[in-house]
Amino acid sequence: MENGTLRDHLYHSDDKSEKSTSRSELSWEQRVEICIGAAKGLHYLHTGPAGGIIHRDVKSTNILLDERYVAKVADFGLPKSGLPDPENFTMGVKGSFGYLDPEYLTTLQLTEKSDVYSFGVVLLEVLCARPAIIQSSRLDEMNLAEWGMLWQKKGQLENIIDPVLVGNIKPSSLRIFGDTAEKCLKVFSIERPTMHEVSYYLNYALRLQETGMPREPFEDSTTTTITSLELQFPIVLNFPVHEDDDAPIGGDDSFDIEVCEV
């Protein structure tokens, strides 16, 4: 593909330092558009005419970019109709460290929501420009999903964004993007959104970045997260936008594992 992989434009894959420097300066709008394209691609795989396909190994190196930086999902997957009978044998675990759905690891039940979890890690890669797993003296920084959610839950996600993006993301856009990543990374798959819902919320984050949508008078300005009810009914969402939201705010993990049991 003309512009390589998404990872190529975020950080050097052989960089094992604590902080990675972006290889190329993709704008925030470009990054969100790439994520939207990848989300739509995964949604198509999950709901396609062949009965649906589970990717099994969603990561930034499996998202390719064409000459216009349009995302293409590569290296898939497992037809849902091809799942083995769990009473006869256990399917081998396949994936990459840092991206694997914890529920899949414990139950060996692979679903579309396993791809959703992995995509949540990709969202944090896009935001922070660092690998899913790094070598660090601090245990809480080694795993991107855990580290990112620590800052997200403190409401301070802006503290760990790619330095290239500092001052260039509207807080309302960052808030929706962070909330979407958090939903994708829920421990229990039933609490995660579908890829269709993910693409919807990312589109909303992009619109907030491009236009700065005004807050409706009836909206509660203190409510900033995407609730489970909102995820179920995306058509009627009214996301709050704070009055100051128009102001901008200031290692290789690609090891595949196969664990098979008979």
DSSP states along the chain: -TT-BTGGGT--TT--SSSPPPSS---HHHHHHHHHHHHHHHHHHHH-TTS-EE-S---GGGEEE-TT--EEE-S--EEGGG---TTT-EEEEEEETTT--HHHHHH----HHHHHHHHHHHHHHHHH-S-SB---SSHHHHBHHHHHHHHHHTT-GGGGS-GGGTTSS-HHHHHHHHHHHHHHT-SSGGGSPPHHHHHHHHHHHHHHHHH-PPPPTTS-TT--S--HHHHH-GGG------TTTTSPP------EEEEEE-
Where in the sequence numbering do the catalytic residues fall?
57
